[in-house]
Structure 1
Amino acid sequence: MREFEDEIRGLSSEEVAAAQAAGDANADAGTKTRSVKDILRDNVCTLFNLVNVILFAFVLITGSLQNGLFMIVIVVNTAIGIVQEIRSKQITDQLSIVASSKAKVIRDGVRGEVPLEELVRGDCIVLGRGDQIPCDSTVLTGTANVDESLLTGESDLIPKAQGAQLMSGSFVNSGTVVARVDHVGAENYAAKISAEAKAQKDINSEIMTSLNNIIKFVSIIIFPVGLLLFGSMFWANGVEFNQAILSSVAALVGMVPEGLILLTSTVLALAVIRLSKHRVLVQQLYCIETLAHVDTLCLDKTGTITSGAMEVQGLTLLGDASAREEGDAEQEAISALVSIAAADPDANETGKAILAWAETLNVQPVAASAYVPFSSDRKWSGATLPPGAVGKGADGGAEAAPGAAGADASRSQGASYVMGAGQFVLGEGFAAVADQVEAAAEHARVLVLARVQGFDGERIVGTPQPIAFVAIRDQIRTSAAETIGYFCEQGVDVKVISGDDPRTVSGIAQQVGVPHADRFIDATTLDTDEKIVRAVSQYSIFGRVKPEQKKAFVVALQDAGHTVAMTGDGVNDTLALKQADCSVAMAAGSDAARNVAQLVLVDNDFASMPKVVAEGRRSINNLQRSASLFLVKTLFSMVLAALFILLPWQYPYQPIQMTLISAFTIGLPSFVLALEPNRDRIKGHFLENVVVKSIPGAVTVVLAVLAVNAWGYLGVGLDHAQVSTLCVLLTAWIGVNLIFRVSMPFTPIRIALIIVVVVGTIAGAALFPNLFAISAFVDSMWTIIAVVGIAAVVLFNVLYGALDRWHAARQAVLV
């Protein structure tokens, strides 16, 4: 290549400077992770935080700092979100660091290196084996085989010669070329594909949607209700100003499920930590939940089912070789194949597969006395091996072409062989073995080995005689079948989407147990949206898929009501990854795919996916159980706030009392229950499941509070402090009953939890009465708490049992 480089001077320094001044430099147009500033803004500036800050400000007006302790939960929740996202950003950025960030260029006739972002339009770049093409370019001289799989999804190597177009993001697999940069920055092919993926995707999470809907609803009513409640107490009922503010804030704080937000963030953050131990990077907290809901999984073949490497599937003898003694024929074929592959100093994936196969057979290559390298025009390579080097029958099998120059000399030097595409190696003689070769080609790449008389330069001398063909396939990950089997057992529909030939994809899919893998279609025939919609419901295997079609497949599945997960590793996958409900990328894939994906498999092992599903189930099922404890407080706070606007009594709680109730009957048990193992399948919808379990407790609290206020004020003449104390203790008691029900079936940990909750609540009220505004008991209070407490237990259990049976019957009908 040096001789070609000498003929190319490239741009001059003046031309480079002019291009840079004109904005024709290769400014980085890649997909980027969010900045720390954006992460801080999005986590701090939320409606949830705003509501709580306003409530905290009202508490500060009264000077009662202990009633502002609820803000600790808000700060911790925000911190968890910030830390998790920054951690994810840092790891993703580290994955984007490449070993070489410079391009080889020729400028002023001198070869040098410059940073990728300093390339300009018109630059002459030198690209060799392993180099990633930085910009769309045109080959000026040289030849190379290029891997465009990250862009197109097709794993076949594409030969490139003078005048050929090179797409940014692809890799040079073998050969060397000098190319002229045509496009820079956002004009590049890879940049155009990934441009749509740059924007941050809205989070698709049932839990988050449910929580946001609760917060939005509460935010709409909270301040009007607060003002009316304050006005009712301060102006209508003559409650002192500070007490009216604290009671109003207590009602409003009770409406906001701040602990549930914290619990959700904490549980998912802990799931992220556990998954990181399995080499899974979670870039978006709620995707753990989404994956657990997925019912359709779209797999990209390359990098997911297959490793990206090649392996030899088997050797089949042909023609006269099959009639010879089998051991001798195989020995000759294997030795010839291995020796041709070893003769290439720049072996591609096919050559590497043959050499790896030879190692398993303990076959050593023979040093070739002559070698004809592979050419994309000829589609074969060949070698002459020393006499007797490859076994019996290796000499003299081919007929010499009369008068062919160099034929006799080649024959005297030993046996000559060619390896390549059957049609090109055998010519007209391919018809005799076509059926056998093409049958194998349905599920693998097939290379035909033939014996020839010799070589005249780069021409075959004599009529090639077929010896054998070797089938080479994509290397299937050892864990692929087990992982796909797991998803099938879970009722997930698996579809394989690839840029490769659909027959090849179907064959690989059948090997790993994809259901209905024999149903395949060539996506080039799907030229309308209507055809795509029909195809996604009828087929499981899609080949020759274009990048924009992958997204269309995902959209069609979503429109049909499916929750879709998509795996991929290339730029060609980014649009589909962004569209999918849950997106998974391989760390070894493109930057664009990694940055768009919600999950990144750091060790590129698809076998980690069941662990993510298990974590999702554990998180969601436990959150549903724990969330009911929080929603009880939200529901009864809203109802009581509305009622006490009309009633002639002061709202019975203060913020610090809500803290006592929340800490022992909500916070502690919810965290313990949320961290337990749980792999049950997810049933129903999050909000419905939670509300059904919350209603009995909320209704019981409302009726108990009304009974205590009426009996206390009207019946025995208790003051506000005494009524408030009874309301706090009865609310805690009803909370204990809910914990009792959601803890079934009992385990030692759950029994211990109930004991701690009861003892902790009593101890808090008894040891810190002033802090929690707990009044001393008088005789009438014992009567009230006993009667109302017993009635509350009966009512709660009747309501809980009835709603539980109704909900179970409803879910059975829906299933």
Structure 2
Amino acid sequence: MSDMTNDAQNTGWRGLTEDEVNERVEQGLINQSDISTGKSVKNIILSNILTYFNLIFLIIAILLIYVGSYRNLTFLPVIIGNIVIGIVQELRAKQILDKMNLINAPHSIVFRNGVQKQILSQQLVKDDIVLLSAGNQICADAIVVEGNIQVNEALLTGEADEIEKISGSSLLSGSFVVSGQCYAKLEHVGNDSYITKLTAEAKAMGSGEQSEMIRSINQLVKWIGIGIIPIGILLFSQGYYMNHETMQKSIVSMVAAIIGMIPEGLYLLTTIALALSTMRLAKNQVILHDMKSIEALARVDVLCVDKTGTITEPGMEVLEIIPSKVNSQVIKTKEELELLLADYAISIPDDNATMHAIREYVAAFDTNSKKRETMEVIPFSSTTKYSGISFSDGSFLLGAPEFIMREEYPLVLPEISTYIKNGHRVLLLGKYEGTSLKDGLSEKVVPMGYIILTNPIRENARETFSYFKEQGVCVKVISGDNPETVSEVAKRAGIEHADQFIDAGTLDTDSKLASALEEYTVFGRVTPKQKQKLVQALQKAGHTVAMTGDGVNDILAMKDADCSVAMASGSEAAAQAAQVVLLDSDFAHMPNVVIEGRRVVNNVQRSAVLFLVKNIFSILLALLSLVISFTYPLEPSQISLISMFTIGFPGFLLALEPNKNRIKGHFLKNVLIKALPAGLTDVLAVGALVVCGEVFSLPKNDIATASTMLLSVVGFMILTKISAPLNPFKNGIIIFNILGLVFCGIFLHQLFAISEMSNICVLLLIVFSFAAESLFRYLTIGIEKLDELYRKIRQKKQ
């Protein structure tokens, strides 16, 4: 470890006493904010109870009670059940995620009573002295009191340049340490910190972007919510004033139409599907910071991965140290090189996987007393790709050979090319002949030796990347390492076209970068800003991009990606910035996350078709009744019966089925194309049945019962179609719901307003059922043909 860390107990920083900490806690000067990314228990309960549609249900329940139509309150148990199930599932998901988030919560190294210890960042108080190292996210506004660090504030200010912070410099919460190490005194904590105020402003502006599925459902509900009140008023007015129905009949008909328009179970279905998936992933050590990420990952067609920690194991080890023969007069033996490296490792404050591996290697040498006096330190930067130290006997650099040697890189390449081709990482230790390291490398660098590091490939890497290849997901490897080295590692991991690599240093314009994405798979020597631009270029080309990483150099790209995945073993800042965190840092979980996302979106999309059929039918039949001036033929209890066995139960049961199909197209469009034929079939068949009933002067109860049966027939038609291909599980769902409907129709006929029908009404039901089957089939073919034609015309235009 570095001097600063080794001598942590002897720095003179005592920090706050327990009494001072308790005093600040009582004053509320603790690093906890009122802003939370998750819902509280109270919010979960209220968000499930206090909804617009629940208010509508309450009003129509009061109206039905007012007119004494108690039988038609059958929808209430379903609504109450929806509310209770929604609350229970969300609370269960919250309980599991809270436990997992606690494991992954940000921690800080703080000084209390002269003792250095690690605590949760939210337990810090004002005036605490904390130790910040590379990879840490700054947890509260602070002032540097000792040390020197490089900070990236891009997540706050948008400026990607690394900013040097020395004693007296201010640190903003939410930024992260790129390199170096320092002690800082916390100045503004909790609600007073910069990141909390920024978050509050963002929340005030809106809840942010949502997934396409949630956004589509919200749009659907919004349209229905706007139209439901005026349509309801018009229906009541027509029935009561124009058709001279009784108050009871007018209200009952209006309520039936309104209940048919409300997708009461769709929100619940979506909530439960997401909650169950979240719990399943949590049990597999996967945390979702953002619920939309599960859908984004399911839609991903380009996966950007870093080499270290993703393709390879997070840990590194030094394979060997080799003196350079290019300038052998500087250091003559391997032992001299090892002692210099030991002094370097002790003096540099870098706290990354590379330095951990080097320190572990040099621990075997006699490093208790350093041989050289440190004069100047330049921590490692992902932008410059090197670190530097000035000792009393000269200045030395450690980093990427091509960045340190620059134009003279070809001189050392023959000595290291074999290691690079074998997929090893090579660092060069060189002597700088300039006077100061802070002014950049303006003078010659003399190569002294090479540190050969190795990262073992993850055992299941080949299997994981093979899965993505089968699913049509293109993998791009974006790394800060030598492109040839990264290419070799990618080939060993089984990544397709891994032999097509390029040095990102040659991509000095956005156009070059965009064109390179079409040609190359592996990008080496990529700076953090370039990683971000690569992700943005892929998105501009119409791709859904996921970015995985574990270091601070990945954060900018992760923030811009459609979905970001972090390894918990990597940088704390990266884990906090990501939407998905793999707690055990096992990249092999990625296929499971994708499969879970596909299960949710595909199943919700399929079930949404069932809900939308009822909505389309009810809205169109309501409008038809207003135009032709007939009273809406169905009762609320009959709508409840149809919804229960052709929508509710099947929708929820189908949502439990595994579904690995790749998601294609837009959610709302996919749902409408499948729901529209059945919805039109329903309204045309029932409308014709009502007209025939008027012609033959059939009792309205007979027409209502026949309409209920006809809607059930069409309901099972669409259920069978969207369940294709059928299997024993799906057949069981269909048979179970048919039997349930028959049972209720026979034994609970009074509750659901099912009456005996006259012979002519039965005959009409049979005729219209066969006609509905043909109509549904031809409407389905016609709408699918129109959609295909539309896509062809659109492709020609593009």
Is the TM-score greater than 0.5? yes
The equivalences for 1:115-514 within 5 A come to 137-138=143-144, 140=146, 179=183, 181=185, 184-185=188-189, 202-300=208-306, 303-313=309-319, 349-350=353-354, 353=357, 365=364, 372=371, 434-437=412-415, 439=417, 444-446=425-427, 469-473=450-454, 477-496=458-477, 512=493, 513=495
Deviations 1:286-317 (Å, cap 9, x if unpaired)? Answer: 43222111223344555444554322355657
Can you list the C-alpha shifts for 1:14-70, whole angstroms capped at 9, x where unaligned?
xx99x999x997855798434515555555554444444444444444454553443
Could you tell me how far apart the structure 2 residues matched to 1:293 and 1:574 are?
21
Aligned with residue 601 of structure 2, among 597, 600, 620: 620
Equivalent pair of 1:449/1:466 in contact (CA under 8 Å): yes
Maintained 8 Å contact 1:136/1:189: no
Is structure 2 residue 80 aligned with structure 1 residue 102? no
For 1:389, the equivalent position in structure 2 comes to none
Segment drifting more, 130-139 vs 40-49: 130-139
For each residue in 1:358-391, what CA deviation from the matched residue of structure 2 results, as whole angstroms up to 9, or x when unmatched? 9xxxxx95768986379585999xxxxxxxxxxx
Determine if contact 2:531/2:556 at 8 Å carries over to the other structure.
yes
Q: 1:542 & 1:422 partners in 2: Cα distance?
A: 12
CA contact (8 A) 2:136 2:571 kept: no
Is the Cα contact below 8 Å between 2:321 and 2:338 reproduced in 1?
no
CA-to-aligned-CA distance 1:414-465 (integer Å, 9 cap, x gap):
xxxx997899xxx9xx999734456567962436699xxxxxxxxxxxxxx9
1:165-191 superposed Cα distances (whole Å, 9 cap, x missing partner): 9998768999x97x4648654998988
Distance, in Å, in 1 between the alignment partners of 2:726 and 2:400 is: 69
User: 1:193 touches 1:571 (CA, 8 Å); kept in 2?
Assistant: no
Equivalent residue runs for 1:695-734 within 5 Å: 695-715=676-696, 717-734=697-714
How far, CA to CA, are the matches of 1:206 and 1:260 in structure 2? Answer: 15
Q: Is the 8 A contact 1:104 1:125 kept in 2?
A: no
Cα distance in 2, alignment partners of residues 7 and 212 from structure 1: 57
After superposition, where does 1:597-636 map in structure 2 within 5 Å? 597-636=578-617
Q: CA deviation at 1:726?
A: 0.7
Classify 1:130/1:209 alpha carbon distance in 2 versus 1 (closer, same or farther; 3 Å): closer
Letter in 1 for 2:693: G
Q: Tell me if 1:689 matches 2:670.
A: yes
Find the counterpart in structure 1 of residue 720 from structure 2. 740
The offset of 1:225, in angstroms, is 0.7
Cα distance in 2 for residues equivalent to 1:475 and 1:165:
40
Structure 2 contact 426–452 (Cα < 8 Å) conserved: yes
Tell me if the contact between 1:298 and 1:496 (Cα under 8 Å) persists in the aligned partners.
yes
**CA–CA separation in structure 2 for the residues paired with 1:180 and 1:756:** 66
Query: What is the letter of the counterpart of residue 567 of structure 1?
Result: T
- Residue of structure 1 equivalent to 2:567: 586
Q: Between 720-729 and 297-306, report the one with greater CA deviation.
A: 297-306
Match of 1:361 in 2: none
* Of 67, 70, 75, the match for 1:70: 75
Residues 1:763 and 1:337: Cα distance change in structure 2 (over 3 Å): farther
| Residues 101, 43 of structure 1: alpha-carbon distance in 2 compared, 3 angstrom cutoff | farther
The answer as to whether partners of 1:318 and 1:469 remain within 8 angstroms in 2 is yes
1:565 aligns with 2:546: yes
Cα pair 2:134 2:350 within 8 Å, conserved: no
Q: Distance in 2 between matches of 1:498 and 1:149?
A: 19
The reply on whether 1:33 has 2:40 as its aligned counterpart is no
Q: How does 1:639-650 map to 2 (within 5 A)?
A: 639-650=620-631
Whether the 8 Å CA contact 1:577–1:583 is kept in 2: the answer is yes
1:533-572 matches, within 5 Å, as: 541=523, 543=525, 545-546=527-528, 554-569=535-550
Contact 2:93 2:278 (C-alpha < 8 Å) held by counterparts: no
Contact kept? 1:569, 1:586, Cα under 8 Å: yes
Name the structure 2 match of 1:411: none
The answer to whether structure 1 residue 86 and structure 2 residue 86 are counterparts is no
Q: State the shift of 1:720 in Å.
A: 1.4
Which residue is 1:401 aligned to?
Answer: none
2:287 aligned counterpart, secondary structure: strand
1:749 has 2:755 as partner: no
- Tell me the distance in 1 between the aligned counterparts of 2:678 and 2:668: 16
Shift of the 301–667 alpha-carbon distance from structure 1 to 2, 3 Å rule, reads same
Cα deviation digits, residues 394-417 of structure 1 (max 9, x gap): xxxxxxxxxxxxxxxxxxxxxxxx
Deviates more, 1:110-119 or 1:50-59: 110-119
Code of the residue aligned with 2:230 in structure 1: it is P
- 2:434 — aligned with what? none
Structure 1: which 5+ residue stretches go unaligned? Answer: 323-328, 359-363, 381-417, 451-464
Q: Distance in 2 between matches of 1:504 and 1:196?
A: 45
| Separation (CA, whole Å) in 1 of partners of 2:252 and 2:686 | 18
| SS state at 2:712 partner | helix
Report how far residue 577 of structure 1 moved.
4.3
TM-score (norm 2): 0.73
Counterparts in 2 of 1:510 and 1:282: CA distance versus 1, 3 Å: same
* In the alignment, structure 1 residue 668 sits paired with structure 2 residue 649: yes
Cα deviation, residue 692, structure 1: 2.0
**Do structure 1's residue 770 and structure 2's residue 775 form an aligned pair?**
no
Structure 1 residues 700 and 125, CA, compared in 2 at 3 Å: closer, same or farther?
closer
Answer with 263-272 or 703-712: which moved more: 263-272
Cα 1:491–1:151 change in 2 (3 A) is same
* 1:311-354 deviation per Cα after TM superposition (whole angstroms, max 9, x unaligned): 2355657659x9xxxxxx99x88997999699979997557536
Matched pairs, number = 727
Amino acid at match of 2:620: V
Q: Which residue of 1 aligns with 2:159?
A: none
CA distance in 2, matches of 1:60, 1:300: 63
Shift of 1:231: 0.7
Pair 133,694 (structure 1): closer, same or farther in 2 beyond 3 Å: closer
- Which structure's CA Rg is the greater one? 1
In 2: Cα distance, 1:225 partner to 1:276 partner: 45
2:400, 2:762 → 1: CA distance?
96
RMSD over aligned Cα atoms: 5.5
- Measured at CA, do residues 9 and 118 of structure 1 come closer, stay the same or move farther in structure 2, by a change above 3 Å? same
For the residues of structure 1 that align with 2:616 and 2:7, how far apart are their CA atoms?
Answer: 81
